[in-house]
Amino acid sequence: MEFRRLGETKLAVSVITFGAWAAGGWMWGGNDEKEAIEAMRVSYDMGITSIDTAPIYGQGKSEELVGQAIKGLPRDKVQLLTKYGMRWDLAKGTFGFKSQDNDGKDIDIYKYSGKESIILECENSLKRLGTDYIDLYQIHWPDASTPIDETMEAILRLKEQGKIREAGVSNYDIQQMATAEKSIKLASNQVPFSMVNRDIEDELIPYCIENKKSILAYSPLERGLLTGKIKPGHQFDAGDHRADHKYFKEENIRRTNEFLAKIKPLADEKGATLGQLVIRWTINHPGITIALVGARNAAQAKQNAKAIEIHINGEEMEFINNQLSDLEIVG
């Protein structure tokens, strides 16, 4: 496995990091808890020592499963990345959206990052994770109701108390990052990035490179679309958010698969799956520090981890990018 430091910190994480959103079941049509834990364990055995989670993923379930998965492992050999600022149990802050929990109960999601909320959330996350510190603590989404300096001052206090090692943000634009930097030194920004979603290339990537901030790319496989396993007419389980997502419209699935067919010979030549080629492309991309990749079971976890064995040279990166230039997502 390869490791990279986040920003200018001493915190090094595995370039392929386990993304534990689906582990919580929420918005993914449920999940098998035993298989989720096994997937994380196998990932660790394969060299993926970093896990990214959040309280909102299953309303605490994902963090609990992460805690079970790392139990007994040497704590200094595991990097725990979690988040704060999304509440389902408190109607305060900026309303996000309506959803349902894993039991089918209606819930309202709020973006809230007031000081007292952050302190409480941190304590709850520490308990669920079964640890006394969090390696990277990230605001999940911007909260328009709370001044950024108030939020970051609370994070600074947590860092001074040793409850977190480093501070990060998620889904922040460059102006929000700059404002946050006035209160605390940021290590990273976690944002969506994939072959079909490259919006950050114009502004955010150049900013992060210039200011020495890491980018943690989430959904690099675009929720499974870029594995090539999703075909037009695919039926998702009840509660799976992908059913209504634009990338999974029939036309976009067709267009994406046409692109994947063009790069599949390169994957075959390397003895790799399409997913492994995509993961390697992601962590090779300028400005991208790590790729967050989820796995439902041990088999998927092993496959993801082996992407590190794939090597793509400059000419091959250019070939992939040229094929990408012809792909247009609609809607």
Assess if residue 317 is contained within a domain: no
Count of domains for the chain: 1
Assess if residue 8 is contained within a domain: yes
**Residue 235: its pLDDT value, please?**
85
Tell me: pLDDT of 234 over 90. no
Q: What are phi and psi of 237, to 5 degrees?
A: -65, 155
How many angstroms separate the CA atoms of 234 and 253, rounded?
10
The distance between the two most distant Cα atoms of the chain, rounded to a whole number of Å, is: 54
Assess if residue 245 is contained within a domain: no
- In one-letter notation, the amino acid at residue 248 is F
286: CATH:
3.20.20.100
pTM: 0.95
- Hey, which residues are catalytic here? 57
- Count of CB atoms within 10 A of residue 289's CB? 21
Average the pLDDT over 282-307 and give the result: 96
How many angstroms separate the CA atoms of 62 and 82, rounded?
10
**Tens of pLDDT along 98-117?**
999 999 999 999 999 999 99
Distance between first and last Cα of the chain: 37
How many angstroms separate the CA atoms of 270 and 280, rounded?
12
% of the chain residues with pLDDT over 70: 100
**Residue 25: its pLDDT value, please?**
86
**Tens of pLDDT along 12-71?**
999 999 999 999 988 888 889 999 999 999 999 999 999 999 999 999 999 999 999 999
- Which range of residues forms the domain containing residue 186? 3-221+276-312
